[in-house]
């Protein structure tokens, strides 16, 4: 380590810094170290710590001559991100540590969103496992691979509640529910961080994003305005961010959107009053990509003014806008920011580096040997295969089409059957497509020597060639070929004719969901539907694998295709699909988003507030002056929590330990669950609550607990839940978190629609 740093450590200037209310370690040693180091830093060096850039073309150039390398040597860079090359990262770190005046290590980040090289389903799919151990394990594996490859910080988890499936980034979160969102958020933070924030060696720092309300973009249009009451923020949108903070997340990313008229990037109420004062967050806040620069577009002034406002609001690091590095000095001279503002941000960045152990060992992350051993290793692949299989949601299985037998002739058709790059889903920055199996390869291996496999692309993804090409190429993927539509259809139909069963792999390629992929129409794209219609006319058993990163509309498919399963990508997707389709594993995923009957129903979510004139779900007949549509049946086609398996389950009525509960007591609610089918299978037993009369209108039902239960054919088990006061509380009109006495319904079942109910009173 640099002499200056060691001297600073020894100098011993003790400063009293408030104790962190969050679960982040905050020791006298750390305060002492950071204070001493900062006493040696120039203003430029402090601003350098607040500056973050992407690695750019460093991978093809030399770290020494790259823009980030130069800045690192000058001490003008705090963090760099999205470099996939452990040797380059280590070389860059050497420049920062050995060539800069104070030798402060860089914080190396990456968008490790659902895995590094071992890629798990997109986060929405991960949430459909309803298996928090699996979610945590996926983050742990992602962190282990990323850390070995030089990454100390991931920009994940994304915990934005997304009610509107037109918004493509629904793929990156846990869907529509605050309770599920909170469970997933906490599990991912635990999985990513391990013990690393306490000086341990396992894990990388998590970054909770996008704070806040990014998923509420109007009309599902990415980056659009979000506007809502504070009551709704606190009750519906904030819980997952708060849960992640409580789980000890070391950092938070602000969102692109406006919150209450002020961009989140520079919103003091959000970044300081709520995040730090109310929730006790004491980690660091980074902006989203260039968002300080984008404040000009929001009509909030130029780069200098925006940078000053963002800093004052509580932002610590500027991602890519170059606002902090290039303008804060002038703002300091002009008095719009103070040295204390800059010091505070710098301190938080240095604290993050300290907690991660970078001052003790700047090369803690990034080891070529470990990287070789761990990256995409067998153990990780096996875990990903198992978890991916758990994520699939079986939506329909008429006449027991599934599981399929490995015999006869099977046709595998659709635009996604040959891709290696799209199989991972969107935002797999570190993917290694050459190592993954395409669906065709996976099926061929599974069926070798047992059944004949026929494969054809069958159609384009969409009729618009330009969009199809852009959507693939834009993010470095190998675009799915745009083919002659008539010839492709004819080839696929002739194969389907020859087959005993037809499996259609369709839907969205990787980058049809994710950032900047809003849609106005959630139906299967036209050429895919045409192919499916032609296949359906053959009258054979057909299985639709609907690849998606959001809820899509499958109304026509549900009426015409016997078996439908939602698939959420992953590097091991091909093998996991064969495990489930051919019956080695029974599906157990359940939806965490409501699947609409028509796009116009969006935003559609189960935990709505009651309206005065609500029409029951499933009501097809139009009634005047009620809350239904002229042209659609009410409610979701497949509700939140829905998912089938190869067996069936029966629920007894709900039993309560008491019909009364004191405000600080508990009630136990239980059901007997029976596997009434022929095979062992897993059910997700869900508990919902409804507060029947309250001081403000409360949702018709809210998920408050769940358990995955595996039963053998014919087996029964009592499944118990403890209803605690916390499950009944909400933020009232004054934004106080309260439990109001009165009647509550407790509902238990296998999805949010089919539930058994009992009632109790809180006194
Ligand atoms: C923009 C995205 O909104 C954010 O999620 C991501 O982490 C950054 N870019 C960095 O790549």
Do residues 433 and 542 both lie within one domain?
yes
Are 450 and 585 found together in one domain?
yes
Single out the residue in 538, 565, 599 at which a domain terminates. 599
Query: Which regions of the chain are under pLDDT 70?
Result: 1-21, 57-60, 474
Same domain, 503 and 567: yes
Q: Which atom of ligand 1 is nearest to the CA of 207?
A: 7
441 alpha carbon – ligand 1 mean position (Å): 33
Which atom of ligand 1 lies nearest, measured to the CA of 255?
3
Position 657 in a domain: yes
Residues in Cβ contact with 134 at an 8 Å cutoff, skipping those fewer than 6 apart:
126, 386, 387, 390
Only one residue has tokens 């004949």, namely: 452
Final residue in a domain of this structure, among 542, 569, 599: 599
Cβ proximity of 182 and 239 under 8 Å: yes
- What pLDDT is attached to residue 65? 86
**What residues have CB less than 8 Å from 682, skipping those under 6 apart?**
586, 588, 645, 708, 709, 710, 711
**CA 372, 373, 377, 378 torsion-angle sign:** positive
Q: How many domains does the chain have?
A: 2
CA of 530 to the centre of ligand 1 (A): 36
- Residue of minimum CA distance from atom 11 in ligand 1: 111
| 579, 689: one domain | no
Asked if 584 and 663 sit in the same domain, the reply is no
In sequence order, the 6+-apart residues with CB closer than 8 A to the CB of 349 are 49, 50, 78, 79, 107, 284, 316, 317
**Same domain, residue pair 593 and 444:** yes
Helix 339-355 / helix 303-313 crossing angle, nearest 10 deg: 60
C-alpha neighbours within 13 Å on the C-beta side of residue 566:
33
Q: Give residue for tokens 């659902």.
A: 114
Residues 555 and 660 in one domain: no
- 573-581 and 439-447 are packed helices; what angle lies between their axes, rounded to 10 degrees? 40
Q: How far is CA 427 from CA 117, 123, 167, 208, 300, in A?
A: 12, 10, 15, 16, 30
The answer on 584 and 665 residing in a single domain is no
HSE, CB side, 13 Å, CA atoms: give it for residue 464.
8
Calculate helix-pair angle for 178-193, 132-148, nearest 10 degrees: 40
In 3D space, the residue among 652, 629, 639 whose CA is nearest the CA of residue 719 turns out to be 652
Enumerate residues 6+ apart whose C-beta is below 8 A from 469.
479, 482
Ligand 1, residue 256: give the atom nearest the CA: 3
Q: Is residue 74 a part of any domain in this protein?
A: no
The DSSP 8-state label assigned to residue 540 in this structure reads: S
H or E element in which residue 204 lies: none
Burial of 560 (0-12, 13-18, 19+ CB in 10 A): middle
> For residue 425, what are the domain limits?
388-599
- DSSP code, position 137: H
Please tell me the distance between residue 289's alpha carbon and the centre of ligand 1 in angstroms.
Answer: 6
Residues 669 and 537 in one domain: no
Residue 2 CA to residue 75 CA, distance in Å, equals 13
Cα–Cα separations (whole angstroms), residue 108 to 62, 79, 253, 375: 17, 6, 15, 18
Tokens of 449: 């020597």
- 347 assigned to some structural domain: no
Q: Is residue 345 part of a domain?
A: no
Same domain flag for 651 and 591: no
The Å distance, Cα 153 to ligand 1 centre, comes to 13
Q: Euclidean distance between the first and final Cα of the chain, in Å? A: 62
What are the residues whose beta carbons fall under 8 Å from the beta carbon of 687, sequence distance 6 or more? 669, 703, 704, 705, 706, 721, 723, 746, 747, 748
Predicted pLDDT at 60 = 65
| Helices and strands (H and E) in the chain: how many | 23, 27
> 311 is written with which tokens?
């800093």
611: which residues sit within 8 A by CB, 6+ positions away? 627
Q: How far apart are CA 343 and CA 339, in angstroms?
A: 6
Which residue among 79, 107, 111, 168 is best mutated to probe the pocket of ligand 1, counting the most ligand atoms within 8 A of its Cβ? 111
**Helix, coil or strand: residue 26:** coil
* Confidence at residue 10, expressed as pLDDT on a 0 to 100 scale: 42
What atom of ligand 1 comes closest to residue 113's alpha carbon?
7
Contact (Cβ atoms closer than 8 angstroms) between residue 558 and residue 552: no
Which ligand 1 atom sits closest to the C-alpha of 172? 5
Buried residues in 25-36 as b, exposed as e (16+ CB within 10 A): ebeeebbbbbbb
Q: Is residue 527 part of a domain?
A: yes
Residue 338 covered by a domain = no
Same domain? For 581 and 454 the reply is: yes
Cα(110) to centroid(ligand 1), Å: 9
Which of 108, 155, 264 should be mutated for ligand 1, with most atoms under 8 A from CB? 155
Is 514 a member of any domain?
yes
Q: Which two tokens stand for residue 233?
A: 């923020």
Helix, strand or coil, per DSSP, at residue 679:
coil
Q: Whose CA is nearest to atom 7 of ligand 1?
A: 155
Q: At 603, is the secondary structure helix, strand, or coil?
A: coil
From 532, 565, 599, give the residue that closes a domain: 599
Separation CA 129–CA 26 (nearest Å): 35
Residue 462: closest CA among 452, 453, 472, 454: 472
DSSP result, 469-516: HHHHHTTT--PPP---HHHHHHHHHHHHHH-SEEEEEEE--GGGSSTT
CATH code, 513: 3.40.50.1700
Classified as helix, coil or strand, 197 is helix
Whether residues 513 and 423 fall in one domain: yes
Alpha-carbon torsion 459, 464, 470, 471, what sign?
A: negative
Q: What is the distance between the alpha carbons of residues 572 and 614, in angstroms, rounded to a whole number?
A: 43
What is the CB < 6 Å shell around ligand 1? Answer: 111, 155, 209, 288-289, 515
Our answer to whether residue 160 is catalytic in this structure is no
Q: Which of 177, 288, 318, 575 is catalytic?
A: 288
Residue 698, domain CATH: 2.60.40.10
pTM, entire model: 0.97
d(CA 30, CA 358): 12
Ligand 1: residue whose CA is nearest its atom 10 = 289
pLDDT, residue 475, reads: 74
Whole-number pLDDT of residue 552: 98
Residue 410 lies in a domain: yes
């Amino acid at each position: 380590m640099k002499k200056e740093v060691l001297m600073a450590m020894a100098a011993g200037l003790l400063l009293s810094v408030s104790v962190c209310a969050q679960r982040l370690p905050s020791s006298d040693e750390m305060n002492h170290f950071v204070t001493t180091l900062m006493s040696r830093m120039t203003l430029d060096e402090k601003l350098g710590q607040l500056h973050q850039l992407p690695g750019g073309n460093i991978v093809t150039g030399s770290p020494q001559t790259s823009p980030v390398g130069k800045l690192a040597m000058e001490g003008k860079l705090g963090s760099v991100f999205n470099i996939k090359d452990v040797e380059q990262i280590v070389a860059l770190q050497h420049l920062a540590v050995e060539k800069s005046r104070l030798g402060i290590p860089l914080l190396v980040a990456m968008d490790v969103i659902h895995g590094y090289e071992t890629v798990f389903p997109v986060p929405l799919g991960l949430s459909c496992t309803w298996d928090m151990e699996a979610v945590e394990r996926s983050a742990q594996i992602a962190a282990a691979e990323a850390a070995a490859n030089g990454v100390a910080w991931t920009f994940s988890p994304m915990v934005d509640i997304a009610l509107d499936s037109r918004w493509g980034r629904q793929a990156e979160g846990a869907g529509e529910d605050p309770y599920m969102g909170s469970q997933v958020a906490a599990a991912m933070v635990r999985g990513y961080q391990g013990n690393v924030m306490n000086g341990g060696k396992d894990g990388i720092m998590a970054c909770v994003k996008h704070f806040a309300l990014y998923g509420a973009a109007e009309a599902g249009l990415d980056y659009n305005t979000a506007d809502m009451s504070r009551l709704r923020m606190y009750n519906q949108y904030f819980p997952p961010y708060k849960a992640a903070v409580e789980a000890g997340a070391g950092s938070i990313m602000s969102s692109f959107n406006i919150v209450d008229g002020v961009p989140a990037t520079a919103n003091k109420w959000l970044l300081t009053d709520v995040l730090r004062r109310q929730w006790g967050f004491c980690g660091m806040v980074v902006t989203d990509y260039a968002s300080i620069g984008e404040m000009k577009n929001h009509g909030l002034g130029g780069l200098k003014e925006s940078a000053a406002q963002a800093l004052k609001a509580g932002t610590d690091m500027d991602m890519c806008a170059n606002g902090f590095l290039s303008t804060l000095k002038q703002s300091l001279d002009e008095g719009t920011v103070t040295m204390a503002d800059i010091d505070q941000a710098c301190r938080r960045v240095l604290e993050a580096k300290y907690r991660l152990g970078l001052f003790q060992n700047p090369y803690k992350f990034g080891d070529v040997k470990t990287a070789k051993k761990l990256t995409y290793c067998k153990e990780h692949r096996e875990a990903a295969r198992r978890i991916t299989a758990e994520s699939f949601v079986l939506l329909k299985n008429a006449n027991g089409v599934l599981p399929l037998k490995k015999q006869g002739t099977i046709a595998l058709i659709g635009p996604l059957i040959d891709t290696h790059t799209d199989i991972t889903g969107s935002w797999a920055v570190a993917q290694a497509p050459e190592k993954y199996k395409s669906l065709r390869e996976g099926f061929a291996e599974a069926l070798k020597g047992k059944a004949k496999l026929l494969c054809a692309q069958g159609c384009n993804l969409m009729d618009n060639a330009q969009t199809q090409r852009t959507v693939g190429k834009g993010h470095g993927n190998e675009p799915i070929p745009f083919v002659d539509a008539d010839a492709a259809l004819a080839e696929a139909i002739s194969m389907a004719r020859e087959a005993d069963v037809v499996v259609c792999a369709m839907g969205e390629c990787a980058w049809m969901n994710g950032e900047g992929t809003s849609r106005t129409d959630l139906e299967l794209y036209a050429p895919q539907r045409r192919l499916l219609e032609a296949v359906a006319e053959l009258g054979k058993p057909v299985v639709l694998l609907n690849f998606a990163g959001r809820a899509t509309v499958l109304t026509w498919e549900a009426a015409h295709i016997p078996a439908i399963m939602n698939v959420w990508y992953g590097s091991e997707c091909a093998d996991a699909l064969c495990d489930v389709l051919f019956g080695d594993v029974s599906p157990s995923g359940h939806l965490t988003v409501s699947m609409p009957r028509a796009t116009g129903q969006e935003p559609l979510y189960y935990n709505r507030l009651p309206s005065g004139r609500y029409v029951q779900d499933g009501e097809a007949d139009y009634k005047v002056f009620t809350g239904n549509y002229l042209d659609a049946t009410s409610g979701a086609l497949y509700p939140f929590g829905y998912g089938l398996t190869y067996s069936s389950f029966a629920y007894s009525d709900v039993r309560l330990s008491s019909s009364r509960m004191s405000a600080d007591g508990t009630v136990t609610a239980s059901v007997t669950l029976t596997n009434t089918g022929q095979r062992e299978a897993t059910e997700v037993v869900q508990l919902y609550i409804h507060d029947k009369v309250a001081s403000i209108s409360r949702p018709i039902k809210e998920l408050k607990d769940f358990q995955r239960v595996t039963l053998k054919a014919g087996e029964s088990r009592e499944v118990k839940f403890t209803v605690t006061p916390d499950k009944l509380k909400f933020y009232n009109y004054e934004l106080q978190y309260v439990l109001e006495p009165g009647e509550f319904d407790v509902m238990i079942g296998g999805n949010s629609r089919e539930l058994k109910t009992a009632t109790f009173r809180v006194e």
